[in-house]
Each structure stands twice: as C-alpha cells, then as structure tokens.
Structure 1
Amino acid sequence: MDRKTILFIVLLKVLICRRLSWCYTPQGALYLEDSGNTSLDSYEIYRNDGSFTVNTVGCIIPPINIRDVTIQKYINETNKSAKLCYNYNTRLLASNQTHIWVKKSNFIHHDVQNESNFMCCYESFHKPLSIRNTSKYFVDNIQYLSCILFNDIIEVSNEFVKVNCSYENKKIYEQYFVFTPKKEFTYTRNNPFKPELDNKKKYNIIMLGMGSMSRQNFYRTMPKTLELLKKWDAIELKGYNTVARDTFENMMPVLVGMNITEIQTTCWKDPWSSLDNCPYIWERFKDMGYYTALVEDTSKLGMFNHWKRGFQGSPTDYYLHPFIHETETLNKRENGKMYKKNAKINNVVSPCMGDKYYYEFLINYIRRLTRTLNKSKLFGLFWETSLSHDNLNDPVLMDKAYFHLINKMNSSGYLNETILILLSDHGMDSGKILFTKQGQIEQRLPFVFILMPPSFRAQYQLAYHNLKVNKERLTTPFDLHETLVDLIDMSASTEKEIIKRTTEFYTHNRGISLFLPIPKNRTCDMAGIKGLWCACYNDVNVAPNNPILMDAVSYFTNKTNDMLKLYPQCLKLIVDDIIVAKEMVPIYTRYNEWRDFNVVMRMAPGGGMFETIMRLYNKTWTIVDRVKRLNYPDFRTMCIEDATLKLFCFCK
C-alpha cells in the first residue's frame, strides 16, 4: 500500500469519526470524542497537563503540595510520638473461629494459685429484633443471654460474646470476642432473590473508609498502601469534592443518593427518630442475593450515631455497632488510668481495644468475614474513625496494616471477584491546620481510589475507559451512589448500554455514574456542591483593613448578636481577629456578578473560630451557607440548649 493510499484512508477515517462524533479503537470499544461546539464537547477525553489536579471548563483545582511550607509544622510523617496500646501480654483468654480457651500459663500474672477456685462465665449478647424501651438510648439496647460456666475451653456458637473470669468469687478479668459465622441468608419480602434464575456476573463490593482523610493526607500518611494501589492501576478520583460538613452528610449521598435536606423531608423527618426508614443502597444489593455488612470501628463517633439515634434494628446482615458499643464501655473503664497521657478522640473514647487499636480489630474482622463469605457475594462498608478522625498524623500507624490487608485480598484471589473502593468523607475538619489555606482546601478534597478486577476491565471496556477519564473531573458522593446503582445490575455497564446512555441528556444531572463521561463544563452548582464546600474557586487574598471586608465582618457580628438576643444569658460577641480573608473568584465569568468572601474570624469573648462565605450583591450582604465553627466550644456554652446557637453562645 503506497503512501497516498495510506494518507487517504487516514483522512477518510478522521472525517468519518469527526462527522459521527465517535471512533472505534483496535479493541472495538466506542469512545465519544470532541465533535465541535455542541453539548458533546463535555465528552472530550481530557489529558491533564500536569499543572492542575482538575482543569476543565467548569472547574479548576490547582496543584496542592502535600508538604506545603504553610503546614510543615503540623506534619509529622514518622509520628514517633504516637502512643502504642497497652501491652496485654498477660491475657487470660484466647480464641480462634470456633473456640475460646483459658491461657493457664498466665495464671501467675493474675495471682491464680488454685485452679479449682477459678471459673469463667460465657455470655453472648445481641441487638434484639424488637425493643420495648424507646428511650433516648434505645439504639444501644443490648440483650444478654444466660451465663455458661467453663474453666478450660468452650465452643463458640454466637456472634458477640463477653467472658468474665473470677477467682475465689472475685472478678479478675473481662474480655469481649466477635465471630463471623455464616448466617442463613434472609430473603427480602418485597423482592425475594431466586439464585436459580440468576446467571449474571456479580462482584463483591468492598468499601474501605477512613474518616477525615484528605487526598493529600492519604499521600503523606499511607505511602505503602498508595504505592500498592498505583501499582495495580487503581483509579484515583483527583477531583472528588465533599458536599457537606460531616461524615453523615457526606456519606448519605453515597448510600442513599440524597442530601441532608432531602433526607430530612423524606425518610428522617424527626431528628429524634432512628434512621431505619431511608432507602440504603445495601438493601438493593440484598435484593440481588448479596450478604450485607455495615462495620465501623467506633460507636460513639459512628456516622449514624454521633448526635443521632442510629438504627433501631440491624440494618445489615453483619452489623457491629452493638459489639463496639459494649467494648467502648469496657475500655473507657479499663483504659482510663492507663490512657490519660495518650491522645484521645475528642475525649470520647480510646482508640485501643485492649492491646490492639480498633482499626486493627476492624481489619481482622474484614479478613475473617471475607473468608467466611468467600463463596457468597458481599456488599460491605467498613469504616475506620478511631485514628484518623482527629489526628492528622496518626493514620501513618495504619499504613502497613491496610497494605497487608489489600495485598492478602489479592494473593488469595478475592480481588479477582471484587470491586474495591477506598474512600473518605472529608479532610481534617478541626485543628490548627484549618486556619491555613492548604488545610481548608484539603478539608474539601477527600480521597477515593477504585480498584477494578481484570475481568471487569476486559468485559466492560467502555465503562472502564470512562472511569479513567473521570479521574480528572469534578466528582462527588452523588456520583459514587450512581456508580453503585450501576453495579447492582451489570447489564447497565455493557458497551451497548453505555453508548445509549451517553447519547441521552444526562450532563446536568446532579449524580452521574462514573461509568459515563462526566462533562467538562460541570460546575459545583451542577454537581450539587454548595459554595462553602466547592474547591473549584480561585481565591484572592483581601487585606484585613479593606473597607468591604470590614463591612462584611460588621454584618456577620450584627447578625450573630441578633440571633443571640433570644438568650440574654449569652454575652455579646465582637470580632477579635480576622484569620483568613479571601475573595472567592469563580473560574468563569458571570454578568451581574455578586462577590463572595470566605472569612475565618476569631470572636470574643470565648475565642470561637468561625468560617463562612458572605455574599455582596446589590450592596446587600447575605450569608451564603451555614456558619462552621472550627474549634470546639467549652463548658461556657452549657447555659442554653439550642444546638445551633450553642456554637456561638459564651455564657455570662
């Protein structure tokens, strides 16, 4: 074939592809390309030039140095000062998957001299299906079964177990155990799954969450795990933007597909009620024959229990809140004296369960449960909070454990049948790092990695291609929800369906499956991200003596004091210092433009640090989004009960 013929074929292909807006690759997959000045511009494959995390028409997120000079004093990547859990080398009990036994070699450490006077009590406990007491703490009601005595070894027949040991009728030891028996699969009433009629390929869905972990802090503190994920070509969502202030408000969009306002007007109308009535994504996986698991390594700070009522029933097949609640009660008592010098989580709970961190317990539980259900399909959300929630540097302690967990999942072949999602809810949302520009950016950019098995990459090439494109687009928890919906029925991700769905008008949907190309012109407004949480703004520093800023601060002070007039026991507030002041400049031009200012102020008396965005439009100020307090109020707020105004009040 001569050069002229080759050139003619190439030109013809280019013309055809340009005309039809798509081309076939050598693998046969159909990829949408730029087709000129039409809505299909949104689908053009974006190649990052390396200067930006995200650089699209709708959103620019500049590069963020993970070791920026402004935060160096807050970073301790070796974290040598971290305290280890108390070494219980004198444990009286040990267990495997089927038995608990007494370690008699440790009798000497507990002053047990006569074995005949030693006895242990095996008590199983569970969350009852029906609860008579619907008091304030009804979600934590636990029912214990009768004590079974033993002094050597006992076979395990329950999920949650407490063992008390006594010597000469005096209690000397207590320990909790959790087991992962394979439970009988319970069919849903509305849509009973019929395995004999199901021949579709399904994948385990394993979500490993770490609370308050920004993408940048994941890079700083989890280098071994990061290296492993990159080695296996996990897809990193570099533009994954938080949509709200806390874990609950960022995870409900993932799990339910709704924001907090929508939840409060549909399935959770009463803030004092339980959260059982919302349509969680795991219920839809249950309908398709999956076992389900919701496992957190904390109870008091759990995403459904912190200042909330949690679940009255068990929301999933495997649900560890009852067990963790009981162990936290024990550890608060047992570790109180020992742990005074160690870092606590918000003074609420120790990160240690005996001689192990709670995150280690979580990882061990994941290992055992996936082994138990290796012949079944599992949708599991496994969430770590205990180390990462309030400490920027402590996650470095988890790196090795997560590395080995994921590596073992791979070597055992489990990842061949599993879609693995590592994610966080938001970055660090308390502490001094929030008073830096870097800290505020990190707060809005949690990490997400998605590791797809080889069979998915081969069978669903177009969906996988779009997922890779979207790693450098603005994405949200709503998108993650839509992606999970697609994974319920894999037929939604076939090449034929992706092509069909891509030509439909979906680009302005709030939630878009990551298997579809996210449009380049997507803005925070389009994605359901309120201004306060949008990381796409460029910002311009404003001098503290700027007249416009002074006007904004005066408005904020007057507005705050007007609210506090209802409570004469609260002192009047003034602005003590302006910590951060910047004008938030949109990346695209708008006519009749209003001006947004992001301000962090310290108020007096009380020293409360507050962040908000104030908008100036037609010479009128408004507060764009809720005001966020950046440090914790102390006891001087206890004179009022209003949960919102308590953040501002400083009692006389």
Structure 2
Amino acid sequence: MARLVSSKFKRLFLCFLVVSLICLWSKIRSTPDDKYNISFRQTPGKKKLFYVKSEKCELPYVDPFNAEFMKINNPKIFIPCTNESDLITVHYDNIFHQYVLHINEEVLHKLSQSKSNDFACFYQKIIYGQSADRYDRKGNKTKLTQDYLVPLDVEGMLVDCRTADERLLLQQDAFMFIQYEGTPKNLSPDRKASVIMYGIDTVSRTNLRRMMPMIYEYLKSPGWYEMMGYNKVADNSFPNIFAMLTGYSPETAETQVCNTDRDGCLDKIPFIWKEYKKDGYLTAYAEDEEISNTFNYMKPGFAVKPTDYYFRPFLTALEKETVVRYNAGSLMKYCLGRRLANSYIFDYCRQFMQRFVADRPIWGMFWSNHFSHDDFFMLSAMQHKILNDLLNFEKDGAFEHTIMIFFSDHGARFGPLMRLKESFLEERLPMMFIYLPPWFRAKYPQYVEALSLNQNRLSSNFDIYNTLKHILQIDNVVEETNWSYDCPQCQSLFYPLPENRSCSEAAIAEAYCTCHNYEEIKEEPWTWRMADLVVDRINNYLRFYNLQNQCSNLTLKVVNVTEQWMEEIDGDVKRPKGMRYYHTKFQVHQNMAEFFATVLYNKETEELKINVELISRINMYGTDSECINNKIHKLYCVCLSKLRAP
C-alpha cells in the first residue's frame, strides 16, 4: 500500500512539475521583464519599451520571441559525452585535506562483464612546462588503490583502467584538483567579499531570455541585479574582457604599458587579479578552449603563471591526451574525454570555492566558450547544465560569501541572428548580472541601492573594472585610486551612474553605441556610393599594412541595409557640419564576405569618415583569412589562396 501511495505521489508531483514549467515558459514568452523598471514610449498603435530611457540614451527592449526570430528558431538537444557510469569518483576528505579516488566495483563488474576484481588502474601526473601556458609531459605511471589519497603535488592526472591482462580497456578519465593551502596567520579579521566571475562567450541579453529561460528566471532571485544598460566597448572577446580586467583598451595599453601582441607583455599588464593577490586574496583563472583562449588566440599568452591557480596547462594536456569530440558545425572542442569541456571549468571553479571561500577571500574568473561561440542555439541545449552549476554553488553555501558576476563579452557576431532587424542590438548588448550576498546587502545598503538604480542606466566594461577596484577598497576608498584609464569619467556601479549618460561618457564608440535611434532608409544611388567608399577604405587599409600580396582586393556586391541616425542634434556627439551618422550592411563578391560599418558621411560632398578597425565582419570566415596572423587584419582579409569561384 505504501508503495502505491508513493508511486501515486510521484506521478502527481511530476504532473505538477510539467504544468509549472509550461506555465513558466508561457509567462516568459508573453511578458516583458516585469521585475525591472522598463520604460515605454507611446507610439500610434503600440508601446515601445526601453531598458534605458533618457535624453542622451534610448536603449530599446527587444521581444525575444518576435515573429522574425521564431522563423529561424532551432533549439538544440543536450548531447552527453558518454552514457557510461563513472568507474572512479572523487570526494574531498576534510580531515586529511586531500582528495580521495574511489573505484566503483559495480561499474567495474559491468564494464569488465565479470564479477571478479581482476583489474588495474594507473594514473599519470600532468606536469607543466617551464612556460606558464604549456603542458610539458606526463609523469610515471602510479597504481591506484581503493580510496587512494591524491598527493598534494598532483593538480591534474590522466587515469587508465584495464583488465589485469591489459587486453580490455575499461575506462580512461582525467581529473583536476584545487589543492588546499592553509589559511595565512596574518589574514585580516575584517570580512572581505570574495569575487567570482563566471562567464559564457557570445550571450546577449536577449538571447539569454530566448535560449536559457530557466536560467533567466533563476537570475531574478533576491540578490541578483541585471545591468540592462550594459553595452560592450569593442568588437570581440579580447578587448572587451581586457577593458573589464585592466581599465585599458589594448590600443592605450600599447602606448602606456606594452604591446599585447609581443612576448612578455601580458605578464606586465596590471590585471585586476594582481591587486586582489596583493590584498591577500587567492586567485584563479580558467578557460575551456586552448586555441581560442582569450589571451592566447593570436596573442603570446603568459610566460609567468598569472594567478595562484591557472588551468591552461591542464587544458592543453586534456586536448592532447584525451579523445576530442566536436559538435556538427562547430570548430570548438565539445568533449574532452568523457566530459564536456565546460564541466572541467565548472568543477575547477566549484573546488576553488569549496576549498577556500568560507575561510579567506578569493578572486577567480572562469570562462567558457566551447559550446556558445560557434552556434548560439547550443545555449538551449546547455541551459540545464549551467542552471545546475548555479544551483550547486548555492547548495555549497558559496553565495553566502561571494559577489558573483555572471556575464558575457558580446552577443552573436555572425550567423542567422545577424540577419534580424535587431542584429545591431544583439551584437552589442551582452548579459551582465551581479549577485550580492546577504551580509553585503545588510552592511552596505547604499551600494545596493546604487546598483539597483544602475540597472536601467547606461554602463560599460570600464564601470565593471571600477566596481572590481571598489570591492577591494569597500570600507576605505582613497582619493588617489587609479580608476579605469580609458574612461576617467566612468565609476563603480556601487555609486549612482548619471541618469542622463551618453555613450561617449561611458567610453563607448558610436560604432558600438545602442543608445541612438537609427531607422532604415530606402535604397538610393548614394547608399551604394557610401558602401563602395567603405569597401575602398578597407582595401586602402590592407595596402597600408602591405597585405595586398596575400589578401584579395574587395569589390562591392550588394548593399543589404542602410540606416540613418534620425536625430538632427547629436547632443554631446561632435560631427562636422553637413555630415550624418549611418549604418551600412553590405556584402562583397570575394567569398561572399559580409560587413557592418558605422560611418560619418556627407551624401552631397561624398566626404566619409570611418575607423576601419571598427567595421564588423558579420559572417563566419573560417579559413578564408588563414594566411594572416593578426587578429584584426583577419577580419578584412580574404586570402588570395582561398578565393572561391562566385
């Protein structure tokens, strides 16, 4: 009878859960962000909603599920890397302060198809090279015994289990460990907030709502604040993350510190983690894709280990020593051995918090790009996994101590979303959520009030940098603090931002500014002439850098869209008399390359002003530019050796 009642209860619970999810999905799709103060302007026949609305900035709300998007919607299903159970599991022994490897005998018998325990498991330590960024070699084979205590000098290992005669491979695996360090005796008794930055590449504010609605609902929980006026300051990952972590643009860093393309430069850059380390924090940094790693893609990487815990040497070992699997249509590595590439990053982050966050302040950034960079629909497949990550942090009690920044660098920059009317907004408005723990909210109500107010005000990467600086000095902000170099007028998000703030005041170039009202205009001869002049500037740029013998001369094929900034008066934006701002989206004949440019243009005199390096490439170019190593030049180069027939 008890079993029948239990079974009936389970069925009722499942029915309730399904109905709840359906209702939740319906609510998400049918209503705008009702938690937040979204302004609206009445226009004939409809209401126009805004995330930010002031005299200098009108940042529009986009309906995530509008009809245009629904025509291309193609959600994906999660694909696990393996259906096998784990032969070896890991837990942490709080008495010995060591990790323990347990061999699951039931799994062993299933894999070996035998009830005997006639098998052997060995591990090899992952050893880094002399350079901080390189995996050097595997250590000697060491036999694993049941409930094996992992030595404290082992931070990563590759495991191989076989039958005793070695004829049958049972399972191969890999494990990374945040090894414990005792709490320093001279640690300040004053409570400091830990800071964890958990980021996912290529997630716009709108696309989070589309592809990960359950996570979006979770992020409405108490303590979370969404920066709905957050606007990127550069094109791709490196300059946006660099601004957030240093307060510099790469161009300014070159004049003030060093050229980030040169060997040894990144070790000299004043990254924010250096200041946290100097203030007694333990620091960590991890990413999940070796080639496209933020500081290694077309960059020299680090010669010196940048943080206390640094994942890259282990990542290079995983990519070299395990079976790698890709998803269809993606150049990113999806599975490394038995696990998602992202799973290693999450586990590393979770261990880092589990080991230290209750005892001492920590700072860490954990960045994932393998599943989202090449296919934004993959976000839908990963939403349960990422939601589970956040719930596990909460279960561990990490949120009791930690300010968490859950963020992205930019939205989609190529692919089907670039053909939507809202593509300009999609690319430039990444998600940005900040969580404040209960004790922080109780102790600093004035900072909480400011952060809440700033949700609907224009902000940028440089404000995030200042906020990270502010956390370090939360009880004693000094006047001589070096805030973001490239935006002297930017400030911490714990202070109220100006309500009537412009893009230039937040160090956001017009090419990336989402505040202004551009409207599509009909095709006219001058719109073609303007686009043709932009193509000519790209060709001049390639010639200036002596790339004409490697890169094809580009010729205009079609103008897809032309938009005009409708305001006659530009406020604080200075422009020459007779010139106006325009957006032009166009395609060239060479390999059908597509571009998006923001230009100043006088259609009467044909005077044109443009920074070529702010022109966006909006379709995937794959190997089209593999003859070029410079990350920026690649955007505009179609290699002569890669030209395809029209």
Output the TM-score relative to the length of structure 1.
0.79
Contact 2:201/2:410 (8 A) holds in 1: yes
1:631 pairs, out of 588, 594, 619, with: 619
Compute the displacement of 1:519 (Å).
1.2
In the other structure, the counterpart of 1:595 is 580
Q: 1:116 to 1:388 in 2, by over 3 A?
A: closer
Task: Give the alignment partner of residue 182 of structure 1, picking from 180, 183, 188.
Answer: 180
The Cα shift of 1:638 comes to: 4.8
Q: Which amino acid aligns with 1:298?
A: E
How many residues in Structure 1 have an aligned counterpart in Structure 2? 571
* Deviation for aligned residue 1:225: 2.4
Q: Which amino acid aligns with 2:355?
A: T
CA RMSD of aligned residues (A): 3.2
Residue 578 of structure 1, aligned match among 559, 583, 598: 559
- Rounded to whole Å, the distance in 1 between the matches of 2:359 and 2:627 is 56
Aligned pairs (5 A) from 1:191-590: 194-195=186-187, 198-269=188-259, 271-274=261-264, 275-331=266-322, 334-336=323-325, 339=326, 342-343=327-328, 345=330, 347-349=331-333, 351-373=334-356, 374-492=358-476, 509-544=488-523, 546-563=524-541, 566=546, 567-568=548-549, 570-585=551-566, 588-589=570-571
Q: Is the 8 A contact 2:135 2:314 kept in 1?
A: no
Deviations 1:172-198 (A, max 9, x none): 353211122213578xxxxxx942xx3
Q: Secondary structure of the equivalent of 2:269?
A: coil
The Cα of 1:466 is off from its aligned counterpart by 1.4
Deviation, structure 1 residue 55 = 0.6
Query: 1:244: Cα distance to partner?
Result: 0.5
Give the deviation of 1:213 after TM superposition.
0.5
Aligned residue in 1 for 2:58: 60
Match of 2:79 among 64, 84, 104: 84
* Secondary structure at the counterpart of residue 616 of structure 1: strand
Q: Does the 8 Å contact 1:419/1:451 carry over to 2?
A: yes
Question: Does the aligned pair in 1 maintain the 2:285–2:364 contact within 8 Å?
Answer: yes
The code of the aligned residue for 1:380 comes to G
Asked whether the equivalents of residues 83 and 343 of structure 1 are also in contact (C-alpha less than 8 Å), the reply is no
Residue-by-residue CA offset, 1:417-442 (whole Å, 9 max, x unaligned): 22122111111112121122312211
Distance 1:381 1:593, change over 3 A: farther
SS at match of 1:125: strand
Q: Point out where structure 1 has 5 or more consecutive residues left out of the alignment.
A: 1-45, 132-137, 187-192
- Please give the per-residue CA displacement for 1:497-534, whole angstroms capped at 9, x wherever unaligned: 9xx99xxxx9x834211111211232111211112111
Alpha carbons 1:297, 1:324 under 8 Å: kept: yes
Matches of 2:347 and 2:446, distance apart in 1: 36
Q: Which range is displaced more, 592-601 or 315-324?
A: 592-601
SS in 2 for 1:254: helix
Amino acid across the alignment from 2:126: F
1:160 and 1:323 in contact (8 A); partners too: yes
Q: Aligned partners of 2:537, 2:149: CA distance in 1, in Å?
A: 64
Amino acid of the residue matched to residue 469 of structure 1?
L
Of 636-645 and 226-235, the range deviating more from structure 2? 636-645
* Identity in percent: 25
Maintained 8 Å contact 1:164/1:171: no
Instruction: Please state how far the C-alpha of 1:360 moved relative to its aligned partner.
Output: 3.2
Partner deviation per Cα, 1:547-589 (whole Å, 9 max, x = no partner): 3212212212333344556535654432112122112345745
In structure 1, C-alpha distance between the alignment counterparts of 2:88 and 2:395, rounded to whole Å? 31
Contact 2:225 2:435 in 1 (8 A): yes
Q: Distance in 2 between matches of 1:638 and 1:406?
A: 38
User: Which amino acid in structure 1 is aligned with residue 345 of structure 2?
Assistant: L
TM-score for the superposition, normalised by structure 2: 0.80
Matched residue type, 1:621: L
CA shift at 1:249, angstroms? 0.8
Q: CA deviation at 1:170?
A: 6.4
Aligned counterpart, 2:159: 163
Q: Which amino acid aligns with 2:490?
A: G
Q: Distance in 2 between matches of 1:644 and 1:509?
A: 26
| Partner SS, residue 142 of structure 1 | strand
> In the superposition, relative to structure 1, how do residues 449 and 492 fare at CA in structure 2: closer, same or farther (>3 Å)?
farther
Give the distance between the partners of 1:67 and 1:220, measured in 2 at CA: 7
Q: Secondary structure at the match of 2:522?
A: coil
Question: Is 1:94 aligned to residue 92 of structure 2?
Answer: no
SS in 1 for 2:133: helix
Amino acid at match of 2:150: V
For the residues of structure 1 that align with 2:639 and 2:280, how far apart are their CA atoms? 54
2 CA distance for matches of 1:558 and 1:72? 37
Residues 1:456 and 1:620: Cα distance change in structure 2 (over 3 Å): same
Change in Cα spacing, 1:119 to 1:266, as seen in structure 2 (3 Å) is farther
Instruction: Provide closer, same or farther for how the CA distance between residues 571 and 226 of structure 1 changes in structure 2, counting only shifts above 3 A.
Output: closer
Q: Deviations over 1:23-46 (max 9, x none)?
A: xxxxxxxxxxxxxxxxxxxxxxx9
Label 1:595 to 1:438 Cα distance change in 2 as closer, same or farther (>3 A).
same
Larger mean Cα displacement after TM superposition, 204-213 or 112-121: 112-121
- Per the TM alignment, residue 255 of structure 1 is displaced from its structure 2 partner at its CA by 0.9
Q: CA deviation at 1:60?
A: 1.0
Q: Partners of 1:380 and 1:644 in 2: how far apart? A: 28
Which piece of structure 1 moves more, 479-488 or 366-375? Answer: 366-375
- Is the Cα contact below 8 Å between 1:435 and 1:579 reproduced in 2? no
Aligned partners of 1:601, 1:90: CA distance in 2, in Å? 51
Match in the other structure for 1:27:
none
8 Å CA contact 2:133–2:312 kept in 1: the answer is no
Where 1:533 maps in the other structure, the secondary structure is coil
Of 432-441 and 634-643, more deviation after overlay is shown by 634-643
Report the CA distance between 1:535 and its aligned residue: 0.8
Residues 1:169 and 1:268: Cα distance change in structure 2 (over 3 Å): farther
Counterpart for residue 10 of structure 2: none
Q: Deviations over 1:76-116 (max 9, x none)?
A: 4xx3x435123241654433332335455555676688989
Query: What residue is the counterpart of 2:20 in the other structure?
Result: none
Deviates more, 1:380-389 or 1:102-111: 102-111
**How far does residue 241 in structure 1 lie from its aligned partner after superposition?**
0.2
Is the contact between residue 241 and residue 475 of structure 1 (CA under 8 Å) also seen in structure 2? Answer: yes
Letter of the aligned partner of 2:538 in structure 1? T
The 1:414/1:358 distance shift into structure 2, 3 A limit, reads: same
**CA spacing shift, 1:365–1:141, aligned 2, 3 Å:** closer
Matched, 1:620 2:607: yes
CA distance in 1, matches of 2:623, 2:281: 47
Q: CA deviation at 1:593?
A: 5.4
The CA distance in 2 between the partners of 1:636 and 1:294, in whole Å, is 32
**SS at 1:230 equivalent:** coil
Q: Structure 2 vs 1, CA of residues 641 and 450 (structure 1 numbering), >3 Å: closer, same or farther? A: closer
Q: Does the aligned pair in 1 maintain the 2:556–2:588 contact within 8 Å?
A: yes
Q: Distance in 1 between matches of 2:541 and 2:364?
A: 43
CA contact (8 A) 1:481 1:511 kept: no
